[in-house]
Amino acid sequence: MFQHITVLLNESVDALNIKSDGVYVDCTLGGAGHSSLIVKRLGPNGTLIGLDQDNRALEAAKQKISQASCRVILHKANFQHVKEVVKSYGIDQVDGVLFDLGVSSPQLDEGERGFSYHEDAPLDMRMDQEQELTAYQVVNQYSEEELSRILFQYGEEKFSRRISHHIVQHRMHKPIERTAELAEIIKEAIPAATRRKGPHPARRSFQAIRIAVNNELGVFEEALQQVVPLLRKGGRVAVISFHSLEDRICKHFFQEQAVGCICPKHFPVCVCDHKPALTIITRKPIVPTNDEIEVNARARSAKLRVAEKL
């Protein structure tokens, strides 16, 4: 059963300003939590396009929104191909795009997928189980320097050098094959005083390896670039992120797209004729209420940013 508690459900769908005959893209379909609410607000002339890499998510979503009165298109793809997918159905522009980033609850909860340091499983971490690169390859084949970079850049792990050194030392004797093995190696690498406080010592490293396996930040940046020309005037893009790296990418992208004149400051008049593509709707990100966090602890780090096409 693909069960997932949707984060910032009403806030994100409200932010899209759904028109009954509009076209909306859910780039991270998952269990269809957001899409279920979107299709309720669409009429017979409306269209929902849902993208996901996970076959089980697509099947669960298909069942969940089978009664929708609007046109529903569910497509297996990484959202870095959002423009190509939309165009393939003869659609040139859309009225809204939603991203709900990160790993879904079912993927975390299915121990065999290898996302969690709480469950012993093969080192996998693939969102698309048909892709070749797995966490096993990252952990056992990447150089110590590259591992350290991944842990520091994607996990903001201050002990990245110590952890990568421990990983390389262990794999010299035998490959690291299981999540429990990796979690224990990471734990050993971190000073005892640090281990005794804060979250699980492997949390940041597992996040970093998962991001590397799925190239999450790269595909998100690529997808954002594609979304702006896809949106029609007044169309909106809403992004729910769960850690600072994703939020920073989104924030900076929206700011860049909202800039007008780019002439040097000493120019008396504008000669560049550069026009902003987006206006930022959320000057500060929308965050979950305390009530939502009580029900779903995984919502605590969520941030929603919204921008509108000019």
230 and 182 belong to one structural domain: no
109 in any annotated domain? no
The sign of the CA dihedral 232, 235, 238, 244 is positive
Torsion of CA 105, 106, 107, 113, to 10 degrees: 140
Span of 97-111, 176-190, 295-309 with lowest mean pLDDT? 97-111
Span of 21-30, 125-134, 146-155, 157-166 with lowest mean pLDDT? 125-134
Average pLDDT of 258-282?
90
What pLDDT, on the 0 to 100 scale, is given for residue 109? Answer: 58
Of residues 269 and 165, the one with the higher pLDDT is 165
**For 53, how many CA atoms within 13 A lie in the half-sphere containing its CB?**
20
245 and 225 belong to one structural domain: yes
Last residue of a domain, one of 213, 232, 261: 213
277 in any annotated domain? yes
110 in any annotated domain? no
257 and 302 belong to one structural domain: yes
What does the block give as tokens for 205? Answer: 């490293």
205 in any annotated domain? yes
225 and 299 belong to one structural domain: yes
224 and 94 belong to one structural domain: yes
- pLDDT class of 228 with cuts at 50, 70, 90: very high
In this predicted structure, the answer to whether residue 1 has a pLDDT above a threshold of 50 is no
2 in any annotated domain? no
What is the chain's mean pLDDT, rounded? 93
3 in any annotated domain? no
> Which CATH number covers residue 163?
1.10.150.170
Phi-psi region of 85 (alpha: psi -120 to 50; beta: other; left: phi over 0): alpha
CA angle 188, 189, 192 (to 5 degrees): 65
Last residue of a domain, one of 213, 233, 258: 213
Exposure class string for 30-48: b at 16+ Cβ within 10 A, else e: bbbbbbbbbbebbeeebbb
152 in any annotated domain? yes
- pLDDT class of 181 with cuts at 50, 70, 90: very high
Number of structural domains in the chain: 2
55 in any annotated domain? yes
**The one-letter amino acid at 234:** G
Classify residue 92 by burial, with Cβ atoms within 10 Å: 0-12, 13-18, 19+: exposed
Residue 157 structural domain: 117-213
225 and 264 belong to one structural domain: yes
146 and 186 belong to one structural domain: yes
Global pTM reads: 0.89
Classify residue 153 by burial, with Cβ atoms within 10 Å: 0-12, 13-18, 19+: middle
84 and 38 belong to one structural domain: yes
Last residue of a domain, one of 213, 238, 259: 213
What pLDDT, on the 0 to 100 scale, is given for residue 105? Answer: 56
- The phi and psi torsions of 252 (rounded to 5 degrees) equal -65, -40
Instruction: Tell me how far apart the alpha carbons of residues 240 and 199 are, in angstroms, rounded to a whole number.
Output: 22
